[in-house]
Amino acid sequence: MVQNIIEIKGVEKRFGKFTAITDINLDIAKGEVVVVIGPSGSGKSTLARCINLLESYDEGDILVAGVRVENGANLSAVRADVGMVFQGFNLFPNMSILRNVALAPVRVRGLSWREAEQRAMKLLERVNIAAQAQKYPSQLSGGQQQRVAIARALAMEPEVLLFDEPTSALDPEMVGEVLDVMKSLAQDGVTMIVVTHEMGFARQVADRVVFMENGRIVEEGSPDEIFSNPKDPRLKTFLESILSH
Amino acid sequence: MVQNIIEIKGVEKRFGKFTAITDINLDIAKGEVVVVIGPSGSGKSTLARCINLLESYDEGDILVAGVRVENGANLSAVRADVGMVFQGFNLFPNMSILRNVALAPVRVRGLSWREAEQRAMKLLERVNIAAQAQKYPSQLSGGQQQRVAIARALAMEPEVLLFDEPTSALDPEMVGEVLDVMKSLAQDGVTMIVVTHEMGFARQVADRVVFMENGRIVEEGSPDEIFSNPKDPRLKTFLESILSH
Amino acid sequence: ETLKVGANIGNVPWEFQDKSGKNIGFEIDLVNEVAKRLQMDVEITNIPFNGLFAAVQSGQIDAAVSSITITEKRLKSVSFAQPYYDSDQSLTARSDSKVKSVDDIKGKIISVDTGSTGDIWAEANKEKTGIAEIRRYEGLSNAMLDLVAGRTDGYISDIPAMQYYTKDKPDLKVVARIKTGEQYSIMFAKNSPLQAKVNSVLTELKKEGYIAALHGKWFGSVPEKTTSTVMVMDAPKES
Amino acid sequence: MDIFNTFLNWPVFVDALPMLLKGLWITIKLGALSIVLGLIGGLMLALCRLYGPTYIRGIAIAFIDVFRAIPLLVLLIVIYYALPFIGVRLTSFTAATLALTIVSSAYAAEIFRSGIEAVPKGQFEAARALGLNYFWLMGDVVLPQAIKIVIPPITSNSINVLKDTALASVVAMPDLLKQATQAQALAANPTPLIGAAVIYILLLLPLVRLVAVFEKRFAER
Amino acid sequence: MDIFNTFLNWPVFVDALPMLLKGLWITIKLGALSIVLGLIGGLMLALCRLYGPTYIRGIAIAFIDVFRAIPLLVLLIVIYYALPFIGVRLTSFTAATLALTIVSSAYAAEIFRSGIEAVPKGQFEAARALGLNYFWLMGDVVLPQAIKIVIPPITSNSINVLKDTALASVVAMPDLLKQATQAQALAANPTPLIGAAVIYILLLLPLVRLVAVFEKRFAER
Ligand SMILES: Nc1ncnc2c1ncn2[C@@H]1O[C@H](COP(=O)(O)OP(=O)(O)OP(=O)(O)O)[C@@H](O)[C@H]1O
Ligand SMILES: Nc1ncnc2c1ncn2[C@@H]1O[C@H](COP(=O)(O)OP(=O)(O)OP(=O)(O)O)[C@@H](O)[C@H]1O
Ligand SMILES: [Mg+2]
Ligand SMILES: [Mg+2]
C-alpha cells in the first residue's frame, strides 16, 4: 500500500458567512510535488494554512502521515514536520537572521546553538545571504527577507514543505536560484505543496498541478494535461491571460 | 526648454556606515516612463524612497518640478504630487478598503467624502476589487491588498507615480490587468518610475531602462539598447540569469 | 466677615459629624462661640491632620483645631492661642491582659499613633520602661484592631479619646494615665493678628466658665480648677 | 468581637452610607474631569515628546518624568498651599483637578507613546507618501491604531486617577475613601472602609466591562 | 512667614532627614520586592487571561478587574486586620508586600496583555508553523517583542507601586512619605514633604532615564 503523506477529505473553511474553500479533496504521496495555481482570492493560501492548522477548518479531515491535523498533543510534532514559507515573510524582528534560522532546530529538535548555527550558515549560503547573517530583519530588502524565510523553513528538514508564493518578492535572478533550491529538494524526495505563479517551475518540477477557483479545486492533472490540454473553461481563460503579456 | 519633472543629482544615501546608493544622477522628463531593474539589495527601493523623502538622502539634490525635495513647508505638496505604491502594501488596517482609497483626496485635495468615495469606487472597479469595498484590509488576500494599494495611489491623480514592485504579490492574471492600468496611465502622460522584474512590461512601456547594481546606476538606455545590446558585463549576467529559467 | 477654620473631622469628640452631617464636638462649639464674640461667621473646612499646617500657613484657612498640641518645635513655624485643655497620655490594654499599669509594659509590644505625643513619649521612655518594640499606626482604629488581635499589648494615646472610645467596649480598658503636660489650643499662621483677638475671647470665656461647661457637655465631668480649661493663661510664645 | 461584627457590621454601614455617597459624588466629579483632561494632556505630551523640536521634547520629557516621580500628595499641597504665596489662590476643586490632571497626563503620555511606537513604520510612510499632513496622519491613521493597542493600560490609568482622588482630601475635598476613613473613626469600626471598597467595585466593574466590550468590537477588524 | 520659611525651611529639613531616610529604606525594600513580584504575577495573569481555558480566563479577568477596582488601603486593612479573624496572621511587611503585589500584578497584567496583542499575528503563525511549543513561542518570539512595546507603561506602573508603598503606613510600615507627613506634624511645617518629593525625584529620575536608554538601544534593531 502506498502511503499518502497528506490526505485532504471534504475540507471546508468559512470566515463568518463567507466560504473561502469548500469540498477540497486531495491526496499527496510522499515525494510528490504539487503546484497550486489559481486567480487571486481563490483560496490557495487558505488551503495551505489549513494543512498545518494555522486556520482551523470547519468540515472534513486533513491527515499528515496518517495523523489527523487537529488541536491536541501531537500538533506541535505535526507542525515541525510541515515547514511553511509565508507570502508575507514573518521573520522574527527581535533576533538576527542567523538566530531566525537556528531557533526552531534548537527549540524543537534539541540541537545545540553551535550546531544549529553552523547548519543555519550553510542554509544561508545556499540562498546566497550568508553575508547578512548578523543583521536584523528590518535591515534587509524584501528579497533578502524572503530568502531568509526559506532558509528558516528548510532548517527544520521537514517532511512536507508548504510554499505560499515563495518567489513573489524576489528579483528574477534570485527566483532562478530559489527555484533551483526547490528543484533540488524535490529530487531529494521532499514532499512539497507550492502555491505559485511561476508556470515555468510548475511545468518543470510539478508532479501534479491543481487549479483552484472560487474556493474549489476545478481541475487537476499532470503539468502537460493542465497546460497543453486544459478542459475547464475558466482554466483556459486563466492560462490565456497569463500567456498574453 | 523641456522641463524635467524629476532631477536627481549626485545623490547618496547611507545607513550608518553602509552606503545603500551613491552617485545617482537621473533626469526624468514629464510623461517619461523609467523602469529600474537590478539584483536584490542593489538599492532600487532606496532610490524610490528618496524621491519622496521617505528616506532622507545624505548627499546631492533631488528636484521634483523644480522644487528641491527636503523637509519644509512644501514637502506635503510635493508628496501629494508623487504617488507611491509600496513593496509591502501598507494599507490602513483601521478603515475599510473604500476609505483607504478615498482618504487622501478628502484630506489633501479637499474633496467631499461623497465625491471621493464615488471616485474611489471607480478606481476599485478599474483594479477589479469593487466588490470588497466595505471589507477591511486584513480580510483580503495578498493580491487583493496590492490592488487596493495601487488604487489608493491613483486616487490622488499624482504627477509622478513611483511603483516599488507593484505586481510582486499578484497572480499572473492580475499582473496583466495591473500592467494594463499602468500602460494606460503611461499613455495619459503620467510620469512613472517603476521598480519591477516584469521585463515584458519594461520592453513594451518603458521609455528608458535603468540598471542598478551595488547602489550605483551601472547602465541606462532604451529598452532595446538594454535588452538587445547590453554593454556592462554585470547587466549581461543579470539578463542571462533571467532568461535561463 | 468669615472665620475660616480647618478641622480634621472625624476626631471624636473634638470635631465630628452627627448622623445628619452636621459638624459637632467640643472644639466646634468652642470656635462657634469665639466667632460669635468676634462678630464673625464660621466656615468649617474638613482637612486631614496632615494638611492643617500648610493650610494655616498659606492662609487658605485662618485657624485650625483638631486637638493640636502646643510644642516648642511647632511654635517656630506657627502661633497658638492660650491652651484650653490639658491632655495626658494613657495606656490602654485588653481587659484580660496582664498589663495593668505602666510598670507592666516591660518586654511588651506597644502601639502608638505615628508622630503623636504618645509616640514621642514612648520613644523617650523606651529604655526606662523596657518596651520591646514600638509599632506606629495611622490613627486609632487600626491600632485598636491590632490590640484586639493580640499583635500588640498596649496602646499609648491621648486620654480623652481613649476614654471616649473604651466607654462601650468591655474587652478594652484604660489602665493608666501618663502625665506629659501637653495642652491643646487653636493654631494660627505665625504672628497672625487673629491670635491676639481669639486669645482675649478665650480669656473671657474661661472667666465666664463657658469652656468648663463644654467639658461637662462632652466628657461628662467637671474639670479641675488648676487645669487650663478653667485657668486663664498666657498665649504660648516661641522661646 | 467576630469578623462579621468588625468588618461587615450592617448597622454601622447603614449609618455611614449617606457620608459615603457624599464622598462618592466628589470622587466621580473630580475623577471624571481629571481623567478626561489627563487623556487630552497626555496625548499632547506624547506627541510633543515624540515629534516636537528638541527643546519642546526636552520639556516634555522633564514634565513626564518629574510628575510621575513626585508624590501626588506633595503636588496637591504645593498647588493649593504654596501657590498663594506667589499670589495664585485656587479653589480646592480647581487645585485638586489641576494636580490630578498633571499627574495623570504624565502617566497617560507614556502610555500613548508606547501605542504610537507600536504602529508599524509602513503606516507612517504610506500616510506621508499620500501627502497627508501631520494632523491627518495622526488623526486618521496612527492614533486610531495606537489607541486600540493601549486601551487596557489607559483603562488602568483611569482607574488609578479615580482612586487617587482620595488624596484630594488634603485640600479639603473629602472623597469617598476619606469619608470612609472618617466614618470608620466615628464608629470605631472598619466596616465603612469595606463599604467604600464595595462602592468602588460597583462603580468600576461595569465601566471596565464596558471598555472590554468596546475593545473586543475594535479587535474584530 | 514667606514661602521659603514655610516650604523650603533648611533647619526643619535637616531635622527631618534621618526620619526621611529611615522611611526611604522601607519604601525601597517594599517597593522593589512588590515590583518584581508584581511583574512576574502580572505576566502569568496576562497569559492566563489570553490563553487559559475558559474558567481560568474567567478567574483571571475577575482577579484583574476586582483588584484594580479595590482601593489599596482597603485591601491592606483586610489582609492585615481581617485575616487574623480566620487564623491567618501576617507580619506587616508580608501583608504590605502581598497587597502591593496583588494590586500591581493586576495592573501589570493589562499592560502585558496590550503588548502581547500588539505583536502581529504573523509572528505567532510563523512560530507555530515552525513547531515551537507554547513556551518557546512566548519566550523567544512574542514576549521579547511585547515587552519592548510596553516598556513605557511598565515603567509608569513600577513608579506607581513605589509610591503606593505610602499606604503601607496603615499596617505600621512607615514609608518615606509617611515619615515626611509625620515630620511635618512635628515641626508644623510642610518642608519635610517637599524634602520627600525631592528624594523621590532623586531616586526615580535616574531609574527612569536608565530605562529610556535601554528602550532606545532596544528600538535600534
Ligand atoms: N480572515 C479573513 N476574514 C475574511 N475573509 C478572508 C480572511 N482571510 C481570507 N479571506 C478571504 O478568503 C478568500 C481566499 O483568500 P486567500 O488568501 O486564500 O486567497 P489566495 O488564493 O491566496 O489569493 P492571492 O493569490 O491573492 O494570495 C479571499 O476572498 C479573502 O478575501
Ligand atoms: N534601514 C536600513 N538599515 C540598514 N541597511 C538597510 C536599511 N534599508 C535598506 N538597507 C540595505 O540597503 C541595501 C539596499 O536596499 P534596497 O531595499 O534599496 O534594495 P532593493 O534593490 O530594493 O532590493 P529588493 O529587490 O530585494 O527589494 C540592502 O543591502 C539593504 O540591506
Ligand atoms: Mg495567497
Ligand atoms: Mg526593494
DSSP string, D71-136: -HHHHHHIIIIIGGGGT----HHHHHHHHHHHHHHHHHHHHHHHHHHHS-HHHHHHHHHTT--HHH
If you ran DSSP here, which 8-state letter would residue D168 be given?
Answer: G
The CB of A191 under 6 Å from ligand 1? The reply is no
pLDDT of residue C81 exceeding 50: yes
The CB of A15 under 6 Å from ligand 1? The reply is yes
What CATH number is given to the structural domain containing D61? 1.10.3720.10
Looking at per-residue confidence, does E54 or A169 come out higher? E54
Q: What is the mean pLDDT of residues E128-132?
A: 90
**Partner chains of E (3+ C-beta pairs under 8 Å):** A, C, D
Of residues C74, C85, C152, C150, the one with CA closest to residue C112 = C152
| Nearest ligand to the C-alpha atom of residue B169 | 1
Tens-digit pLDDT profile for residues C172-195: 888 888 888 889 999 999 889 999
Please give the residue range of the domain that contains residue D85: 3-220
DSSP-assigned states of every residue in E34-98: HHHHHHHHHHHHHHHHHHS-HHHHHHHHHHHHHHHHS-HHHHHHIIIIIGGGGT----HHHHHHH
pTM: 0.84
Q: Does A142 touch chain B (CB under 8 A)?
A: yes
The CB of B13 under 6 Å from ligand 2? The reply is no
pLDDT score at B243: 63
Tens-digit pLDDT profile for residues B98-150: 999 999 999 998 999 999 999 999 999 987 889 999 999 988 877 788 889 98
Residue type, C196: A
- For ligand 1, atom 3, the nearest C-alpha belongs to B139
Q: Encode burial over A157-196: b for 16+ CB neighbours within 10 A, e otherwise.
A: ebbbbbbbbbbbbbbbbbbbbbbebbeebbeeebbbbbbb
Q: Which residues contact C74 (CB under 8 A, 6 or more apart)?
A: C68, C80, C187, E186, E187, E188
Q: Does E210 touch chain C (CB under 8 A)?
A: no
**CA C122, CA C152: separation in Å to the nearest integer?**
14
Ligand 3 (ion): residues with CB under 5 Å are A 45; B 141-142
Q: Encode burial over D66-92: b for 16+ CB neighbours within 10 A, e otherwise.
A: bbbbbbbbbbbbbbbbbbbbeeeebeb
The answer to whether B111 and B105 have CB atoms below 8 angstroms apart is yes
Q: Using omega within 30 degrees of 0 as the cis cutoff, is the peptide bond preceding E190 cis?
A: no
pLDDT of residue A1 exceeding 50: no
Q: Which residues contact B97 (CB under 8 A, 6 or more apart)?
A: B91, B124, B129, B132, B133, B134, B135, B136, B137, B140, B148
The CB of A136 under 6 Å from ligand 2? The reply is no
- What is the largest distance, in Å, between two alpha-carbon atoms of chain A? 55
The CB of A46 under 6 Å from ligand 1? The reply is yes
Domains and CATH numbers, chain B: 2-86+157-242 (3.40.50.300)
Please judge whether C146 and E81 are an interchain contact, meaning their C-beta atoms are less than 8 angstroms apart: yes
Looking at per-residue confidence, does E2 or D92 come out higher? D92
Residue of B nearest to A141 (CA): B41
**CA B9, CA B16: separation in Å to the nearest integer?**
21
Please judge whether D74 and E197 are an interchain contact, meaning their C-beta atoms are less than 8 angstroms apart: yes
- For ligand 1, atom 2, the nearest C-alpha belongs to B139
Neighbouring CB atoms inside 10 A of D45's CB total 26
ipTM above 0.90, yes or no: no
Neighbour-count burial of A82, counting CB atoms closer than 10 A to its CB (0-12 exposed, 13-18 middle, 19+ buried): buried
Tens-digit pLDDT profile for residues A56-95: 999 999 998 888 888 887 888 788 889 998 877 899 999 9
Q: Which of A54, A108, A153 sits opposite E125 (nearest CB)?
A: A54
pLDDT score at B169: 62
pLDDT score at B210: 95
The answer to whether C14 and C65 have CB atoms below 8 angstroms apart is yes
For B183, list phi and psi in degrees, rounded to 5.
-60, -45
pLDDT of residue E207 exceeding 90: no
Tens-digit pLDDT profile for residues D41-73: 999 999 999 999 999 999 999 999 999 988 898
Residue of D nearest to C48 (CA): D170
**CA B209, CA B197: separation in Å to the nearest integer?**
11
Please judge whether D172 and C47 are an interchain contact, meaning their C-beta atoms are less than 8 angstroms apart: yes
Helix (H, G, I), strand (E, B) or coil at B220: strand
pLDDT of residue A11 exceeding 80: yes
Q: What angle do CA B228, B233, B237 make, to 5 degrees?
A: 75
Q: Which residues contact D18 (CB under 8 A, 6 or more apart)?
A: C19, C21
Sheet holding B33-37, edge to edge: B82-85, B160-164, B191-195, B33-37, B208-213, B216-221
Measured in angstroms, how far is the CA atom of residue B192 from the centroid of ligand 4? 16
Residue of B nearest to A37 (CA): B171
Residue with cell 524535490: A186
Expressed in percent and rounded to 5, the helix, strand and coil fractions of chain C are 35, 30, 35
Expressed in percent and rounded to 5, the helix, strand and coil fractions of chain E are 85, 0, 15
pLDDT of residue C230 exceeding 80: yes
Read off the C-alpha cell for A151: 532558509
Note whether D touches C: 3 CB pairs or more under 8 A.
Answer: yes
Ligand 4 (ion): residues with CB under 5 Å are A 141-142; B 45
pLDDT of residue E40 exceeding 50: yes
pLDDT score at B19: 92
The CB of A144 under 6 Å from ligand 2? The reply is yes
Read off the C-alpha cell for E15: 531635622
Tallying the residues shown for chain A, one arrives at: 245
Rg (CA), chain B: 18
Best residue for ligand 1 mutational test, from A12, A13, A14, A15 (most atoms within 8 Å of Cβ)? A15
Note whether E touches A: 3 CB pairs or more under 8 A.
Answer: yes
The answer to whether A53 and A70 have CB atoms below 8 angstroms apart is yes
Please judge whether B107 and D140 are an interchain contact, meaning their C-beta atoms are less than 8 angstroms apart: yes
Please judge whether E69 and D2 are an interchain contact, meaning their C-beta atoms are less than 8 angstroms apart: no
pLDDT score at D67: 93
The CB of A42 under 6 Å from ligand 1? The reply is yes
Measured in angstroms, how far is the CA atom of residue A195 from the centroid of ligand 2? 26
Q: Does A67 touch chain E (CB under 8 A)?
A: no
pLDDT of residue A34 exceeding 50: yes
Please judge whether B143 and A41 are an interchain contact, meaning their C-beta atoms are less than 8 angstroms apart: yes
The CB of A149 under 6 Å from ligand 1? The reply is no
Neighbouring CB atoms inside 10 A of B138's CB total 11
**CA C178, CA B138: separation in Å to the nearest integer?**
77
pLDDT of residue B1 exceeding 50: no
Tens-digit pLDDT profile for residues C99-154: 888 888 899 999 998 777 888 888 888 888 899 998 888 778 788 888 888 889 99
pLDDT score at D23: 86
**CA D124, CA C196: separation in Å to the nearest integer?**
69
The CB of A140 under 6 Å from ligand 2? The reply is yes
**CA D193, CA D182: separation in Å to the nearest integer?**
9
Q: Does A76 touch chain B (CB under 8 A)?
A: no
Chain D, 38 to 77: residues with Cβ < 8 Å from chain C are: 73, 77
pLDDT score at B96: 94
Residue with cell 538622502: B57
pLDDT score at D116: 94
The CB of B142 under 6 Å from ligand 1? The reply is yes
Q: Which of D18, D80, D171 sits opposite C21 (nearest CB)?
A: D18
The CA–CA distances, whole Å, from E79 to D127, E28, E86 equal 53, 21, 11
Total tally of structural domains belonging to chain D: 1
Measured in angstroms, how far is the CA atom of residue A49 from the centroid of ligand 3? 10
pLDDT of residue B216 exceeding 70: yes
Closest ligand 1 atom to Cα of A46: 18
Please judge whether D126 and B90 are an interchain contact, meaning their C-beta atoms are less than 8 angstroms apart: yes
Of residues A82, A76, A81, the one with CA closest to residue A49 = A82
Please judge whether C51 and D170 are an interchain contact, meaning their C-beta atoms are less than 8 angstroms apart: yes
Measured in angstroms, how far is the CA atom of residue A44 from the centroid of ligand 1? 8
pLDDT of residue E221 exceeding 70: no
Mutate to test the interface with B, among D51, D116, D121, D130 (most CBs of B within 10 A): D130
The CB of B167 under 6 Å from ligand 1? The reply is no
Mutate to test the interface with E, among A90, A96, A160 (most CBs of E within 10 A): A90
Neighbour-count burial of A27, counting CB atoms closer than 10 A to its CB (0-12 exposed, 13-18 middle, 19+ buried): middle
Q: Which residues contact B224 (CB under 8 A, 6 or more apart)?
A: none
Neighbour-count burial of C131, counting CB atoms closer than 10 A to its CB (0-12 exposed, 13-18 middle, 19+ buried): buried
pLDDT score at D136: 93
Of the given ranges (A23-27, A147-151, D197-201, E165-169), which has the lowest mean pLDDT? E165-169
Mutate to test the interface with D, among B84, B92, B160 (most CBs of D within 10 A): B92
**CA E198, CA D216: separation in Å to the nearest integer?**
43
The CB of B3 under 6 Å from ligand 2? The reply is no
| Nearest ligand to the C-alpha atom of residue A167 | 2
Q: Does B184 touch chain A (CB under 8 A)?
A: no
Helix (H) or strand (E) holding C93, with range, is: strand C85-94
pLDDT score at C18: 79
The answer to whether D131 and B155 have CB atoms below 8 angstroms apart is no
The CA–CA distances, whole Å, from E143 to A109, A113, D192, E120 equal 22, 20, 42, 12
Q: Which residues of chain C are within 8 Å of residue E19 when distances are taken between CB atoms? A: none
Q: Does A136 touch chain B (CB under 8 A)?
A: no
Closest ligand 2 atom to Cα of B43: 18
Q: Which own/partner contact pairs does B108-111 have at CB distance under 8 Å and 24+ positions apart?
A: B108/B76, B108/B80, B108/B156, B108/D130, B108/D131, B108/D132, B108/D133, B108/D136, B109/B80, B109/B156
pLDDT score at A186: 82
Q: Which residues of chain D are within 8 Å of residue B150 when distances are taken between CB atoms? A: none
Q: Which residues of chain D are within 8 Å of residue C9 when distances are taken between CB atoms? A: 174, 182
E39 pLDDT band, cuts 50/70/90, is very high
Q: Does A54 touch chain E (CB under 8 A)?
A: yes
Q: Encode burial over E97-128: b for 16+ CB neighbours within 10 A, e otherwise.
A: bbbbbbbbbbbbbbbbbbbbbbbeebbbbbbb
